[in-house]
Amino acid sequence: MVETAAQLRVDVVDAVQGMGELIVFGAADAQRERIGALSRQLVADQDRMSRLSGFGAAAAGLSTHLAVWLTTVLAIGLVRAGVVPAVDLPMLALVVMASFEAVAGLPQAYQYLGHTLAAARRIFAVADTPQAPAEPAQPAPQPAGFEVRFEQVSLRYGADAPWALEQVDLIIGQGQRVALVGPTGSGKSTVAGALLRLWEYEAGRITLGGHELRGYRTEAVRDMIALAPQRSHLFNTTVRENLRLARPDADDAALAAACTVAQIHDEIAALPDGYDTYVGEAGAKFSGGQVRRIAIARALLRNAPITILDEPTEGLDAATEQRLLEALFAATAGRTLVIITHRPAGLDRMDAIAVMENGRIVERGTHATLARDGVRYRRLYFALD
């Protein structure tokens, strides 16, 4: 019953949020039938549970009365024989009846054991989630610049999980433009997550501004780094409020400037409500490319010394991609810019490129040197070009 109810809720939410796609692809009837089947299954499960509850309650009541009746019959003979005083006869019956109160709830408890186990699984799933990195007890150090160094860093998402990063050495100089490239699952985004202290690394050392990353409080690290992740989330409020998550005091001019760099200002301004347009659930009113560019604008509003953009040009046409990169390079001049990408556009403008595979950096250099000497880079670059 628990599993059916959970699946029914999921399917109903999916149907409501994805109604447009269901109608376009002619799948609305199939989804409706699925929801109907789950509803009927849930009713059947509830009916079976009700019958079990009724049978359990009846069986408990019957057992109680049979025990009282049997005790009374046996006690009458003992009273007549003078073994048991007559005044104890009612007490014996009441003691037997009261003893069943201690076990009367067991049948119903057993019926809901499945509920309990399902709830326990959800609780343990949360309890077993890796803990956030521990905060240092001492005050955060003052960074001497914003150079980032990874020294033999290894990280995995669980004790039995494979290494997401393995002995990674990487230097991101202050003010440099650095690209991380490689196939999906190679560890590029994990580098950003480790730097932002989203996950704790098991071995090696990461320094930021000359100090061990673990010496900073999480808030201090994230004040120095702005991130636009590959899968950006927009809250169901206005474009303006989504942008101001990065900088609550940003005025309209700052919002427009960031969105202009992200190549999304004209599209927002053309909307009837402009920046006061509600984005919908998880940004449903905007395309994937538009959501990504709003997230880039949000990251730029932070004015952080280090900006990390994960797949910033994915889903964009070549012309928009080129305009976005040119604007990004101009807007972040003098600041550190890290781009995680599968695409070759703009790589010739980067100061350094690291090629990753299976959690390791396998090649590094500039676009010119890697295009000449990097076997994996050439394979990746020309495969994408």
- The alpha carbon of residue 350 and the mean position of all alpha carbons in its chain are separated, in whole angstroms, by 31
For residue 381, what are its two tokens?
Answer: 């670059």
In the beta sheet, which residues pair with residue 228? Answer: 309
Neighbours of 96 (CB within 10 A): 17
Give the separation between CA 103 and CA 270, rounded to whole angstroms: 69
Instruction: Tell me how long the chain is.
Output: 385
Fill in the amino acid letter for 26: G
Please give the residue that has the higher pLDDT: either 21 or 33.
Answer: 33
From the list 228, 248, 212, the residue with the least C-alpha distance to 291 is: 228
pLDDT tens, position by position, 79-114: 888 888 888 888 888 888 888 887 777 777 777 787
Confidence check: pLDDT of 340 > 90: yes
Identify each DSSP E strand in 173-305 by its residue range: 177-181, 203-208, 211-212, 225-228
Of all residues in the chain, the percent with pLDDT exceeding 90 is 38
SS (H, E, C) 226-257: EEECCCCCCCCCEHHHHHCCCCCCCCHHHHHH
For residue 126, what are its two tokens?
Answer: 């949360």
Starting at the edge strand found earlier in the chain, the sheet holding 177-181 runs: 225-228, 306-310, 336-341, 177-181, 352-357, 360-365
Q: Give the global pTM.
A: 0.68
- Phi/psi-derived region of residue 309, left when phi > 0, alpha when psi is between -120 and 50, beta in every other case: beta
Give the separation between CA 53 and CA 37, rounded to whole angstroms: 24
Give the mean pLDDT of 331-338: 92
Please give the residue that has the higher pLDDT: either 4 or 315.
Answer: 4
pLDDT of residue 342: 86
For residue 326, what are its two tokens?
Answer: 């040119």
pLDDT tens, position by position, 276-288: 998 887 777 888 8
The sign one gets for the Cα dihedral 193, 199, 203, 208 is positive
The whole-chain average pLDDT of the chain stands at 87
Give the separation between CA 215 and CA 222, rounded to whole angstroms: 13
In words, the CATH class of domain 148-384 is alpha beta
Band the pLDDT of 385: cuts 50, 70, 90: very low
The sign one gets for the Cα dihedral 353, 355, 360, 365 is negative
pLDDT tens, position by position, 204-263: 999 999 999 988 888 888 889 999 988 888 888 899 999 998 889 889 999 999 999 999
DSSP for 258-306 reads HHHHTT-HHHHHTSTTGGG-B--GGGTTS-HHHHHHHHHHHHHHT--SE
The sign one gets for the Cα dihedral 189, 176, 357, 312 is positive
Give the separation between CA 18 and CA 24, rounded to whole angstroms: 10
Neighbours of 231 (CB within 10 A): 12
Is the distance from CB of 307 to CB of 332 less than 8 angstroms? yes
> Alpha-carbon Rg of the chain, whole angstroms?
32
